[in-house]
């Protein structure tokens, strides 16, 4: 059995999991439910096909010699348990139970899957994978492939193998490109290390645990349409727009002109990458400068600066942190706020069978104070936002205030894109964008 090195992102996740053996923070869990009566034999066949065709789902990790290696277990057909349920609450209970189960990392399967069946014959899949074999894009790919095989008798869905990504990263680590990336990051942090991004909490009590809760909201389709139209007009991405709004809010609240924000990216640059399941995502520090006079100049510069950073995203995170610590030894992490704009989509309209998807929120975290996840997995034009936050630091009321403040900034800049930044107001009361 051929053995491969772990990628830089995989190593970080493995070491974290081994240090926190009883934590399920590394789990990625959710469900997708079909709205028509389900042929579970056909669905099982579809799931088996996806596992057979995508090596990352068959990843096994073990310790060889003096290091951890991975290999891809030969595909073997497997059965899937069907659980009869009555309500969606029953499905949520199954999701939560699976999400709280800790994976045994060494030489074990790193995904769990169950079918759920309602009394009317509808139902679907609850799945939990360890982050070390998947990211948000992988979830979108897996759903597309399962539904493609389930919806059609004969389909040839193109899938590339994760070991090719491992080889690409190994080639990168021994190339001239990594030297250029290193020089970019050294120059990026040459002058100063901005204050890490954070959002003020409101609970004044001693640290108790890293227990997390979540607040889920949505920017509706009509508002995202306005955002997308404006982004197209000034030639920026909607990711830059949303990232810039959140950075602007934190800068305004903290009264600072520059901050360091950890962004999670899954920058699959090639056609091959876009059709490969597995872990590509990594964190990338981004300096957000809030020195421009008006919003439009500010957001165009945010888009430009993000573009520069993304060109050098392959540089290993641990080496990035080493560069930062060389400037300030007190820094153990570049930000307490992690920001993830996920571009995975399921393209539901291309399938005959209607379905709905759902993420299962994390239970606790040792990595950040707040993780802000934005996604449109169902590709319906809206934007879902999940704020995962530490309960010892933020109350539910505070989370509502934070989101209303974000929403208020969006309203003000859409009404007047050239508004002076000093004239923007943080509004915490609930309102709707016209």
Q: What integer best gives the mean pLDDT of the chain?
A: 89
Q: 83-97, 130-144, 188-202, 349-363: which has the minimum mean pLDDT?
A: 349-363
Residue 88 lies in a domain: yes
Does 65 share its domain with 91?
yes
- Residues 41, 129, single domain; the answer is yes
- Tell me, yes or no, whether 246 lies in a domain: yes
Task: Express each pLDDT in 339-392 by its tens digit.
Answer: 888 766 666 666 677 888 888 887 778 778 899 988 887 777 888 899 999 998
CATH number (domain holding residue 21)? 3.30.559.10
346 with 199, same domain: the answer is: yes
* Stated pTM of the model: 0.89
CATH of the domain at 253: 3.30.559.30
What pLDDT does 178 receive? 96
Domain that holds residue 100: 4-157
Asked if the structure places residue 355 within a domain, the reply is no
Same domain flag for 203 and 325? yes
- Percentage of the chain lying above the pLDDT 90 cut: 62
Among 141, 157, 173, the domain-final residue is 157
Q: Could you tell me if 198 and 108 lie in one domain?
A: no
Is residue 271 domain-resident? yes
Has residue 336 got a pLDDT over 90? no
Question: For residue 431, is it within any domain?
Answer: no
- Pairing mode of beta strands 258-265, 195-196: parallel
Q: Do 257 and 390 belong to one domain?
A: yes
> In whole angstroms, what is the distance from residue 205 CA to residue 279 CA?
37
* Sheet of 111-117, strand order: 82-84, 111-117, 123-130, 27-34, 355-360
Is there a single domain that holds both residue 111 and residue 187? no
**Token pair for residue 433?**
């964008």
Q: Which of residues 157, 179, 207 is at a domain's end? A: 157
Residues 74 and 196 in one domain: no
> What DSSP string describes 68-89?
EEEEEPPP------EEE-SSHH
Domain assignment present for 211: yes
- Domain assignment present for residue 428? The answer is no
Q: Are 193 and 70 within one domain?
A: no
Residues 268 and 366 in one domain: yes
Q: How many domains does the chain have?
A: 2
Indicate if 187 and 320 belong to the same structural domain: yes
**Domain boundary residue among 96, 128, 157?**
157
Positive/negative CA dihedral, 217, 380, 133, 34: positive
| 233 and 368 part of one domain | yes
100-146 pLDDT tens trace? 999 999 999 999 999 999 999 999 999 999 999 999 889 888 998 99
Domain assignment of residue 432, yes or no? no
Under the banding of pLDDT at 50, 70 and 90, the label for residue 65 is: confident
């Amino acid at each position: 059995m051929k053995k491969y090195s772990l990628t830089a992102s995989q190593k970080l996740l493995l070491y974290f999991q081994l240090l926190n053996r009883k934590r399920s923070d590394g789990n990625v869990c959710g469900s997708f439910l079909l709205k028509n009566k389900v042929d579970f034999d056909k669905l099982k066949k579809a799931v088996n096909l996806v596992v057979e065709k995508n090596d990352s789902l068959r990843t096994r990790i073990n310790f060889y010699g003096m290091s951890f290696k991975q290999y891809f277990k030969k595909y073997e057909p497997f059965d899937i348990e069907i659980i009869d349920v009555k309500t969606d609450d029953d499905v949520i209970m199954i999701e939560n139970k699976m999400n709280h189960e800790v994976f045994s990392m060494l030489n074990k399967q790193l995904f769990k899957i169950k079918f759920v069946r309602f009394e009317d014959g509808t139902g679907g899949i609850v799945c939990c994978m360890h982050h070390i074999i998947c990211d948000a894009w992988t979830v979108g790919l897996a759903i597309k492939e399962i539904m493609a095989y389930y919806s059609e008798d004969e389909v040839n869905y193109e899938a590339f193998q994760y070991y090719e990504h491992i080889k690409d990263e190994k080639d990168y680590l021994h190339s001239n490109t990594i030297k250029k990336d290193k020089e970019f990051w050294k120059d990026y942090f040459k002058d100063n290390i901005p204050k890490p991004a954070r959002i003020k909490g409101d609970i004044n009590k001693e640290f108790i645990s890293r227990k997390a809760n979540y607040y889920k909201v949505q920017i509706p389709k009509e508002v995202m349409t306005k955002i997308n139209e404006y982004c197209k007009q000034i030639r920026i991405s909607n990711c830059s727009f949303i990232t810039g709004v959140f950075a602007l809010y934190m800068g305004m609240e903290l009264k600072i002109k520059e901050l360091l924000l950890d962004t999670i990216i899954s920058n699959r640059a090639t056609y091959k990458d876009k059709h490969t399941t597995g872990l590509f995502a990594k964190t990338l520090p981004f300096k957000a400068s809030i020195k421009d006079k008006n919003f439009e100049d500010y957001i165009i510069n945010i888009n430009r600066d993000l573009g520069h950073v993304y060109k050098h995203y392959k540089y290993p995170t641990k080496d990035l942190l080493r560069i930062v610590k060389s400037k300030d030894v007190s820094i153990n992490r570049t930000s307490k706020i992690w920001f993830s704009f996920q571009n995975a989509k399921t393209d539901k309209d291309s399938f005959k069978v209607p379905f709905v998807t759902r993420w299962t929120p994390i239970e606790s975290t040792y990595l950040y104070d707040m993780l802000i996840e934005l996604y449109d997995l169902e590709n319906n034009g809206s934007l879902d936002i999940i704020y995962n936050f530490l309960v010892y630091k933020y109350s539910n009321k505070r989370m509502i205030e934070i989101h209303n403040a974000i929403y208020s900034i969006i309203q003000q800049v859409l009404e007047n894109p050239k508004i002076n930044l000093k004239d923007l107001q943080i509004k915490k009361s609930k309102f709707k964008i016209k």
